[in-house]
Structure 1
Amino acid sequence: MADDLFAKARSAMRRAHAPYSKFPVGAALRTTDGRIYAGCNVESVSFPEGWCAETTAIAHLVMDGGGRIAELAVVAEKLALCSPCGGCRQRIAEFASPETRIHLCDLQDGVRRTVTMGELLPLAFETASLGDAS
């Protein structure tokens, strides 16, 4: 089922703007209602002010009205398995549940390892911990 996410993530990775790190990354997420959003990393000369691929995909989700992430795939050109950075882990947690599947993909073979969001970020900040957020 994650093959389509891998393909979208790989396609997004090819559009990455990574002239400084030379480290293109792509991500694609599927919402609980089946919509798919992809993103790539976008670097800035004012390092580290760029966007990660996961952040870009989440921005597309938000711009389309939001939703919950059911699963997400990440692929990088230079790593066999690319795991979301710490900041992206928290961003993903904002739109996911601890059971959300995170697929770490190999550029050539697709999904190589799947973890849950709870495994990736076991002590995520939660809205409830902020008190009355309304």
Structure 2
Amino acid sequence: MDDLIEAARDVQQRSHVPYSEYRVGAALETDDGEVFVGCNLENANFSNSLHAEEVAVAEAVKKGHRDFARLAVSSSRRDGVTPCGMCRQTLAEFCDDDLLVICDEGDDETPTEYTLGDLLPNTISQETLE
């Protein structure tokens, strides 16, 4: 199994999901090989919940990283979960279109791979706002 998927699976155990019971972990690898993880943190007011990908990006950015190579996402159901639209936009703020997004399909399945550009074509960016 890919180490990045394993890191995403491991961090799921720290999720706070009393409402959905749907654990998600994300592992974001920088261009220099450092890995930052995040898990979902639910709130009774669902709009205040944090998604695993957002938490991983925040961890990396607060440590000064801005260049990313890969992201692995895994749910406790091993259902090939992809980042939601909000997370895709957050990733687009800090990552290039060629960011590899690896989605965990389970132990006996090959992970599904996308690029961020595949998942979020024609993104809103600084260039589109000018």
Give TM-score, length-normalised by structure 2: 0.93
Partner of 1:63: 62
1:54 aligns to what? 53
Listed one character per residue, the Cα deviations across residues 60-110 of structure 1 (whole Å, up to 9, x for unaligned) are: 011101312211000001242001000000011111111111001124347
Checking the alignment, whether the CA contact within 8 Å between 2:78 and 2:104 is kept in structure 1 is: no
* Number of residue pairs matched by the alignment: 130
CA gap of 1:111–1:67, structure 2 versus 1, over 3 A, is farther
Q: Does 1:14 align with 2:13?
A: yes
RMSD across aligned positions (CA) = 1.5
The answer for the alignment partner of 1:81 in structure 2 is 80
Query: For residue 91 of structure 2, what is the aligned residue in structure 1?
Result: 92
Counterpart in the other structure of 1:103: 102
Which aligned runs of 4 or more in structure 1 are off by greater than 6 angstroms? none
In the alignment, what sits opposite 2:126? 127
Q: Once the two structures are aligned, what percentage of the paired residues are identical?
A: 38
Partner residue, 2:28: 29
Task: Sort the Cα spacing of 1:77 and 1:45 in 2 relative to 1 into closer, same or farther, 3 A.
Answer: same
Structure 1: gaps spanning 5 or more residues: none
| CA distance in structure 1 between the partners assigned to 2:51 and 2:110 by the alignment | 19
SS at match of 2:48: coil
More divergent stretch after superposition (122-131 vs 19-28): 122-131
For structure 2, which runs of at least 5 residues remain unmatched after alignment?
none
